[in-house]
Structure 1
């Protein structure tokens, strides 16, 4: 990573020579290419996942809860695997190669999904939803389906978040990087919202083949636009795996565990060339046993100042980078149960919609997969409102910007409120089902408008507008400079883990309680929401403790002189 980006990440102003060193590469010239790429990828991703549960139920005769779990696995892959893509980008190939190769993989996966919709032999015979006579798909049919979903997930995992890091890398100033992230998130959600309405409607009402075909076209369009901007991008050269350097800190500190720490800064190894780093002359006292990794011993350095044994002697900067990751980890871990409620809400709300009246007028029925729009649109609107109006007003009257951890905390709280309201809506739906004696009928539609889901899902969407951009901004600024691509993927990683935690919660509830049968009218989905609401509340308390004790590393992110964080 070049010196300009490192200085920006450390809160310093970029050097005057940084722009000239880039020539005409990077900057706002690249913005149309990266944002258009984000839009195309989001359209393809939303068209695939937004209606996936319905596709599995209606076309592959898969039971509703099993379809929701497959949906969570697919989304989990697309949000866990970006960490692997980021490591490859940071360490070996750079973001550019990861993005175009991943786009080809996702296009192949989407094409296979199109084939499952177009060729009847790749699907089981059609039957009525809920019928006991439905034929389950064969092993070959499931294999083709899963290969398509796997390739699509792997490919999109390599593009969705890596393009965010690459786009931010085109700018020197953290302010411009922050503006890019706001537009990146806005575009991603807006495009996903469009796909959740237009493409999902085409899939439900016109043709699954045409709908998934549009996803393929959107993905190829994104790749073409991205490659068209090749001559304008500023490429950061990968400099080897930063995780290897962090691992060396653990090994070196263990090997020198018996050495006595020195109080002299010159006894600690700064590296042969510290021009690319904001030099720390003396290691901090936090986890001071790690300081032994940078403690010099006789014969460990070359005449030019380099180390002879990199697994026995590390730079002070490497030690401090490792400590920074340790400090961030407790806050990062709060993301597991911040995202898990949203995962459960997202998958099970589609099943709720299938059991509700989705008519909009006498002739039009809202696709169940389009309920995601009730979350996506409030998120887009709130991101725009916060960025353009509310946050500037806050900064004007208080003298400092809203801190990322404050923003994330508000998102935590709103998600809990959204879950509570959703539990109340489901309790009302079940009451209506009992009044109409629908619990004895398989998958009967309750005469209750699907628009009852709008308030809770909108509250959750507003919460997401607070915590998602706040998380990305926080980790991008607070992670070590050598881990910038990994920082944004770290958000995707805990979101991916949350999808599997969501499946674990669903499995646990199904094994221990009768709350989640395949026919929701016979269950107690409201109790599931209350359970998750309690877990989210406990996690919020844990988050408050972690954020209270955390001290920002980047002085530009926090323009105040006190050390409080929330």
Structure 2
């Protein structure tokens, strides 16, 4: 059998691992960076994973160092309105979360995960460097304009070159993280041999430690960078993530000699196989179900039990002429791969409103906090974006409680090894997200009432005498929600796709939040247009005392409740795909 490396090149050295089957210390199907067979005791495992977890923490530190406080920069130095800034943040965030699909495709088809991580890191550094330049170079910065009416200086609109440079670097960063995110998790899991019992257990722990590590990184970046950006310098606040990614790239390369690289048989790429099934099914749309059954019986082929769903894809088993000639038809295993992916769609669709709710903390939650009393002491004011740290801390604590306390208790009651099913875990998180946005609506209503009582309606920039601590409960509830839903979605989309599609499965998970961000931006745009006519203040008015964010939060609460009911319906109808599922071809 001929093996190819991740970049697609055939190497004789790739065949050698099969010669060492008798040696238990050899890891079959894996080579080192020079294409040589690897020993279990000298490669992979936690040694390699430590490098990869460090890289992932750095990437999350950099990404959230920009995204967590982005709306403040857009409404501040770039002078955008609240609605426009929220739309831009949602558009960028949505693009960022959709690009992992492209990154996974590039990694699986062309570069391989190792090379993709390196390319993504270089693009990250370039993007963050340009972002820093757009904020610090005087020729790209903002200046004061002279106001002839009162002889005072007012901030000028930012030069177009500053805006162009900023958004170019922002979307270059989106491309970089789209290549980075789906590969780091998968490459880290590659360092553990699934056929070895001990390493299989360690692989499960690897994902847990990745979750804890990323939350620690998010907590640090929100506590440190948002303060630097708000009260010291945006240039320094953007430059630190750039330096972190430089160190991360060096750290990743230092681990190269320890990494295991999977080799695989030369075969059609999984994305191509799935696409081929849909194309052939469409071409054969005239073929009836009865004709399909008769032909399969004549071929002595028994349909797989799961194929009772999405039977229209069974038409891909026919050649255009109606004969089952090899090369002209798809195998049953290929059809079942396509069905496995399609089966995820109702769950994916019913989670999109959760993606909308998930996009609120770095946008409207942060803008909400900017209008409230953020002083802890007379001389220390908390950055509004730093409140997001409460969600991250909640995730860190709750994941430990969930793993050590809730799962054993639930396991004793249900008899399920994981305590509850993946879809039950996701649904529980969606329920907590409804509570979070409900609390946000109530707090916003209270803020507006206090502003009216104090006569602040005509003073849009006056701080409302209401402690920002009122926002903490909605962040805590969202953190509990993320502990259930985020990790549940990761496990679900990784587990319920065929083995060749694990990267694509994780990429599909990211698209929930990408599409959710786009939908949030569209929703804000439509509401802004509908409520700002005839000289009225829109729900997202720059005068946040006259606006009505509470109405928007109530709308999200209603949408979340409706989609939660839909999710429960689809979850009850869903049939889990066995981890050991095999297909007849």
| Aligned counterpart, 1:44 | 62
| Aligned counterpart, 1:294 | 317
Distance 2:374 2:330 in 1: 62
| Aligned counterpart, 1:316 | 332
| Aligned counterpart, 2:554 | 530
Equivalent position to 2:274, from 238, 242, 246? 246
1:498-530 C-alpha deviation (Å, 9 max, x unpaired) = 111111111121112221101211111111100
Equivalent position to 1:59, from 64, 73, 77? 77
1:337-374 C-alpha deviation (Å, 9 max, x unpaired) = 11102213441011011101111111111112212112
| Aligned counterpart, 1:212 | 238
Equivalent position to 1:547, from 544, 563, 571? 571
Distance 1:252 1:200 in 2: 52
Distance 1:86 1:280 in 2: 31
Equivalent position to 1:261, from 292, 313, 325? 292
Please state if 1:147 is matched with 2:165: no
Distance 2:298 2:137 in 1: 70
| Aligned counterpart, 2:434 | 416
Distance 2:297 2:253 in 1: 49
| Aligned counterpart, 2:6 | none
Distance 1:265 1:28 in 2: 49
Distance 2:329 2:161 in 1: 54
Number of positions where the alignment pairs a residue of Structure 1 with one of Structure 2: 527
Structure 1, unmatched stretches of 5+, are 3-14, 271-278, 302-306, 558-566
Report how far residue 28 of structure 1 moved: 2.8
| Aligned counterpart, 1:492 | 510
RMSD over aligned Cα atoms: 2.8
Equivalent position to 1:73, from 84, 91, 96? 91
Report how far residue 34 of structure 1 moved: 1.1
Shifted more, 355-364 versus 220-229: the winner is 220-229
Shifted more, 381-390 versus 18-27: the winner is 18-27
* 8 A Cα contact 1:87 1:241, kept in partner: no
Please state if 1:516 is matched with 2:516: no
Distance 1:70 1:127 in 2: 26
* 8 A Cα contact 1:181 1:469, kept in partner: no
Report how far residue 192 of structure 1 moved: 1.0
| Aligned counterpart, 1:7 | none
Distance 2:188 2:479 in 1: 24
TM-score normalized by the length of structure 1:
0.87
1:133-170 C-alpha deviation (Å, 9 max, x unpaired) = 54322322211111111111211221123211222233
| Aligned counterpart, 1:370 | 386
Report how far residue 397 of structure 1 moved: 4.2
* 8 A Cα contact 2:274 2:335, kept in partner: yes
Report how far residue 544 of structure 1 moved: 0.6
Distance 1:281 1:422 in 2: 48
Distance 1:316 1:132 in 2: 72
Q: Say which structure is richer in strand.
A: 2
Distance 1:553 1:132 in 2: 66
Report how far residue 20 of structure 1 moved: 4.0
| Aligned counterpart, 2:197 | none
Distance 2:23 2:404 in 1: 29
Equivalent position to 1:431, from 432, 436, 449? 449
| Aligned counterpart, 2:308 | 285
Please state if 1:167 is matched with 2:188: yes
Counting only pairs closer than 5 Å after superposition, residues 355-394 of structure 1 correspond to structure 2 as 355-394=371-410
* 8 A Cα contact 1:345 1:419, kept in partner: no
Distance 1:282 1:414 in 2: 36
* 8 A Cα contact 1:331 1:543, kept in partner: yes
* 8 A Cα contact 2:317 2:324, kept in partner: no
1:38-90 C-alpha deviation (Å, 9 max, x unpaired) = 11111111211122222222222222332222222222222111110011112
Shifted more, 219-228 versus 60-69: the winner is 60-69
Instruction: Return closer, same or farther for 1:438/1:127 CA change in 2, 3 Å cut-off.
Output: farther
Counting only pairs closer than 5 Å after superposition, residues 345-364 of structure 1 correspond to structure 2 as 345-364=361-380
| Aligned counterpart, 2:11 | none
3-state SS of paired residue (1:59) = coil
Equivalent position to 1:197, from 206, 210, 223? 223
Instruction: Return closer, same or farther for 1:156/1:292 CA change in 2, 3 Å cut-off.
Output: closer
* 8 A Cα contact 1:60 1:136, kept in partner: yes
Please state if 1:112 is matched with 2:130: yes
| Aligned counterpart, 1:231 | 257
Report how far residue 324 of structure 1 moved: 0.9
1:429-455 C-alpha deviation (Å, 9 max, x unpaired) = 111111111110122210111111000
* 8 A Cα contact 2:314 2:335, kept in partner: yes
Equivalent position to 1:96, from 86, 92, 114? 114
Distance 2:525 2:508 in 1: 26
* 8 A Cα contact 2:87 2:525, kept in partner: no
3-state SS of paired residue (2:466) = strand
